[in-house]
Amino acid sequence: MLSLRVLTDPEADWPVWREVRLAALTEAPHAFKARLAEWDRGGEARWRARLEAPDAYNVVALLDGRAIGMASGVPGGNGVCELRSVWVGPDARGRGVADELLAAVEMWARRSGATALKLAVIPGNEPAAALYRRHGFVATGESGDVLTDGVTREQVMVKELG
């Protein structure tokens, strides 16, 4: 059975966040700006710090109690929140897990008073871009962060929450 678990206790929840984040960076390094080597050596304090970010929203998807996906929401300025770190394990893809994670982050953003939800996707990650378009995100044309090659930039997308 699929369930979502919001991580609210950094002391108790950091191991599950570490497990799913390392799985994501291992399985889909092409999908993230962060690299496994940066996080693999992160100690407990680093993992807790990620969960201690003020007003952030971190959620994992569980299938029969096993973490199979994740997503985060981060407050931003001017009524815009950010969607980050979306990943679903390969054995759970195609089951609506990403839809559930995106809906949870969007609900959090709306409750936070956001008027828009913004994200950055790595160019060439068409499955992710298609997922986001299906959920109402559109490319902004805004230049995202420069990737490790020093040339390529993330593609910025936004969904107006009205």
Residues 6+ apart with CB under 8 A from 119: 82, 83, 84, 86, 132, 137, 156, 157, 158
Q: Average the pLDDT over 133-146 and give the result.
A: 93
Q: pLDDT digit string (tens) for 27-56?
A: 988 787 766 656 656 678 888 888 999 999
Q: Average the pLDDT over 64-86 and give the result.
A: 95
For residue 160, the model assigns a pLDDT of 98
For residue 35, the model assigns a pLDDT of 63
**pTM beyond 0.85:** yes
For residue 49, the model assigns a pLDDT of 87
- Percentage of the chain beyond pLDDT 90 is 71
pLDDT over 80 (residue 76)? yes
Contact 86, 101 (CB under 8 A): yes
Task: Give the separation between CA 51 and CA 4, rounded to whole angstroms.
Answer: 16
Q: Average the pLDDT over 7-20 and give the result.
A: 94
Q: pLDDT digit string (tens) for 81-118?
A: 999 999 999 999 999 999 999 999 999 999 999 999 99
For residue 40, the model assigns a pLDDT of 57
